[in-house]
Amino acid sequence: VAAGGRRAPRARGGARRRRGRGVDDDEGDADDHHGAAEEDPREAARRAQQLAQAQEAELKHQKRAGKDAKYAAKEAEREEKERAAREAAESARVEKEKAEAAEFDKWKDMFTVTNEGTVEEEMAEESGGLLAEFVDYIAEKKVVVLEELAAEFGLRTQDAVSRVQALEQMGRITGVMDDRGKFIFISRDEMAEVAAFINRKGRVAIAELARKSSDFVKL
């Protein structure tokens, strides 16, 4: 039996079968690895696409947030400017009212009491706007007949004269009142031209100054 050759061939056949099964197993494993390798690129592409989409969505969100922030900043700036403008306008209105009240007090204190009442009472019915109209009327007319001025503003002639004198003292108007009942308005620029003429000439005769006055004062 020990020398018999039949068992040995069976062993070799078994070895061949085992080797055959080993080869088959290795080929199967190779096929499995090959299939897994074919799926990896698709998975990687899918993940890359998802990442790109997420990045794009984040970028859009950031842009939208940036636009919203800029819009909110502009709105806040606009509202701040409007608020500042309203406050400035209100402050200017209050200051104007204070200035008009102060001017009214100066004007009022310069008039005397008359037998028929007080100019102060008459002035109490007027506003700073009416005083401005009074000044503008004189400045536009240049040469004002005081009786006509009084009639224009519903005053007595003497009251009109007093008001013109008061305005001169306050520095609101400048000019000359003659003995014929007229007031000649002379602007500050015209006054400056007359003063410059006198300074250039030195001593100037009244007659010469009268002749030159038409060059300086635009009537």
For residue 114, what pLDDT is reported?
39
CA 134 to chain centre: 35
pTM: 0.40
Amino acid 137: pLDDT: 94
- Please check whether residue 156 is in contact with residue 146, taking contact to mean a CB–CB distance below 8 angstroms: no
Q: How many other β-carbons are positioned within 10 Å of the β-carbon of residue 55?
A: 10
Query: Domain 106-216, what architecture?
Result: Orthogonal Bundle (1.10)
Query: Encoding tokens for residue 213?
Result: 């006055």
State the residue for tokens 């499995």. 32
pLDDT at 111: 45
Residues of the chain under the 70 pLDDT cut: 1-39, 100-128, 206-207, 209-219
- At 60, list the tokens: 């859009």
In the prediction, which pLDDT does 41 show? 87
Q: What is the pLDDT of residue 97?
A: 75
